[in-house]
Structure 1
Amino acid sequence: MDLLEPITIRMLHTAEELTAVRDLESLIWADEDPVPVNHSIAVVKNGGLVIGAFSGVRLIGFQYSFPGFDGTTIYLCSHSMGIHPDFQKMGIGEKLKLRQREEARNKGYRLIVWTYDPLETVNGYLNLSKLGGVCTEYIENCYGEMPDVLNAGLPSDRFLVEWDIAGETSKPREDSAKGEEVPLLIQVEVDAQGFPVPKAVLLDHEWNVNVLYVPVPNQFQTIKANDLETGLDWRLKTREVFTYYLSKGWTVTALRKSNLPYLHHYVLTKKHT
């Protein structure tokens, strides 16, 4: 396998191309049913997008989205994105999202929304800090029980990300509190294996600040595989913090990479009224 082939990104339309997407989706998420080809064909013909990433002529990544409407606003719902395991951590996801923004704008969309697991910090850094999305809603057990290896054993909690592709917010975002002393909303200890364990949650403080940090593990899947109970504890304590502060009008605006070997920090920003 040649990983040095140039990576190209393009729109997909034909049954053959969308069949390749279905096959790649089956490979990436072996325990889930892929989107049927007849469904993805209909989506592409009716305002949706399927975008492919290629190494030479080989499909190695995809992004799939369809039109959404909440009774007031029309938006693009970014449902899934997958990268072949051999090609991950190469920036392909960001390339797919930037092409998605370009094509969505061409179709007249002003907003893209999607969900992701807030404990998957690679996705968090891309979605919030690099792309400029924001989160104002935390959805508990969004998809119910999911059997695949990434989700099995835990509630499928999700952030709802809003990406304003028509405004200035869809740009890389710096942490406005970088270098300052910022309150941490979860106290963390390190266990004998070197994994972070969440302890006390801080909810009832009247912080006289505009920025708060929520610590999260930067290797959540490793923690979950070694100690499911600690993984569940992270899920429930972060759920408690995010649901509380988002209900008070705070917004998740970035993920700050920490100098610590085991933690990153979500940045909560107070809305100005």
Structure 2
Amino acid sequence: MSAPSGSGEGIRPSTLPARPYVIRDVTDPWAMRALEAVQVAAWGYPDREVLPSSMMRISSVCGGVVLGAYPALPPDDPQGEVPYGLAFGFPALVGGRLWHHSHLLAVHPDWRGSGLAVALKLRQRDRVLAQGIARMTWTFDPLVARNARLNLGKLGARAISYHADWYALDDDRERAFPADRLMIEWDLTRPHAERPPPAPHGEVALAARPDDTEEPDRPDLTLRGRQLLAEVPRRAELMNDPLRRLWRLALREVLGHYLGQGYMVGDLAADGDRVFYVLTRVGEG
């Protein structure tokens, strides 16, 4: 199968008007409690899935970073204390070395596309570097292309490993939609420079079937090229559950296989409305 051709302009920059905001370290327990509502607004979490403010409070005095984003309003305007975004992480040992693991990055739907997610992540980077830590990890759902664009293209991080069923999001293992995640590694010492999505070039390990079903084609696990491509639906959240599950399992097979064979995911390429993970052999990207 040959790689698609195109200009790489499938993911377009936000057209939302700029809105002023401020990002602050959150230390007050009641302000942390307000951050619980951001998680519900961002992901529709039930109560049992929300990270409680008590955990943020404990972490904040043990080396953790808790950041809140608020609209820039006059001091006497109470809406200025209503958070619209948060970043939360804590020190962690990875391979015997001290890293920072970012557990949460949440932005209220009204503020998506405003640049707030990148601003929160860069402020978190500054806080972590000030602690003398040079690496950050986090996980994201490989089915969410907009998050892949943020993590890989806008921040310049890379995905290093695939984890099936990272979370249990239902009491019934068989009924639950698999909560697979990619693990991200971010070198905080590298200068930050957002890059546009490239056009897809490489051998295709996974792509949509050449019909109107929107289903994934059979994965190709025999490739050995320097650069490979794995398609991901641009808006998987709009698909029905059976179709999303097909893509989940196809990406699990492809990404899990190749990341276990010495590849890493370093970018998200675009060809019109189609987007592709770019897999490169470690040490060659």
TM-score by length of 2: 0.82
Q: Is 1:234 matched up with 2:267?
A: no
Amino acid at match of 2:29: A
Alignment of 1:194-209 (within 5 A): 196-207=214-225
Name the structure 2 match of 1:161.
Answer: 184
Correspondence 1:145 to 2:169: yes
> Which of 238, 241, 259 is residue 222 of structure 1 equivalent to?
238
Aligned residues: 255
Task: Using structure 1 for the length normalisation, give the TM-score.
Answer: 0.85
Q: What SS does the aligned partner of 1:200 have?
A: coil
> 1:231 Cα shift?
0.8
Mapped partners of 1:38, 1:97: distance in 2: 22
Gaps of 5+ in 1: none
Asked if 1:8 corresponds to 2:26, the answer is no
Residue 266 of structure 1: aligned partner: 277
**Correspondence for 2:119 among 89, 92, 95:** 95
C-alpha separation in 1, matches of 2:199 and 2:147: 24
Tell me which stretches of 4 or more aligned residues in structure 1 moved more than 4 Å: 178-181
Choose the corresponding residue for 2:263, options 244, 250, 273. Answer: 250
Pair 72,90 (structure 1): closer, same or farther in 2 beyond 3 Å: same
Structure 2 residue 138 is matched with structure 1 residue 114:
yes
Counterparts of 2:222 and 2:30 in 1: how far apart (Å)? 56
More relative contact order in 1 or in 2 (CA 8 Å, sep 6+)? 2
Q: 1:41 to 1:143 in 2, by over 3 A?
A: same
Can you list the C-alpha shifts for 1:41-75, whole angstroms capped at 9, x where unaligned? 11111110111111131311111111111361111
C-alpha contact (below 8 Å) 2:41/2:109 kept by paired residues: no
Aligned-residue offset at 1:95: 0.7
Q: 1:67 to 1:206 in 2, by over 3 A?
A: closer
Out of 149, 152, 177, the position equivalent to 1:125 is 149
User: d(CA) in 1 for partners of 2:227 and 2:95?
Assistant: 33
Classify the secondary structure of the residue corresponding to 2:204: coil
Contact 1:133–1:163 (CA<8 Å) still a contact in 2?
yes
Match of 2:33 in 1: 19
Q: Distance in 1 between matches of 2:25 and 2:132?
A: 17
Corresponding residue for 1:213? 229
Counterparts in 2 of 1:272 and 1:41: CA distance versus 1, 3 Å? closer
Calculate percent identity across the aligned residue pairs.
Answer: 27
**For 1:233, what is the secondary structure of its paired residue?**
helix
Q: What is the DSSP-based 3-state SS (H/G/I as helix, E as strand, rest coil) of the residue aligned with 1:59? A: coil
CA distance in 1, matches of 2:52, 2:201: 50
- Output the amino acid matched with 1:163: W
Q: Distance in 2 between matches of 1:71 and 1:205?
A: 29
- 3-state SS of 1:103 partner: helix
Cα gap change, 1:180/1:22 in structure 2, threshold over 3 Å: closer, same or farther? closer
Query: Conserved in 2, the CA contact under 8 Å of 1:54 and 1:61?
Result: yes
Q: What whole-Å deviation, never above 9, does each CA across 1:84-130 have from its counterpart, x for those lacking one?
A: 22222211111100111011111111111100001101110110111
Amino acid at match of 1:137: S
Write the letter of the residue equivalent to 2:275: H
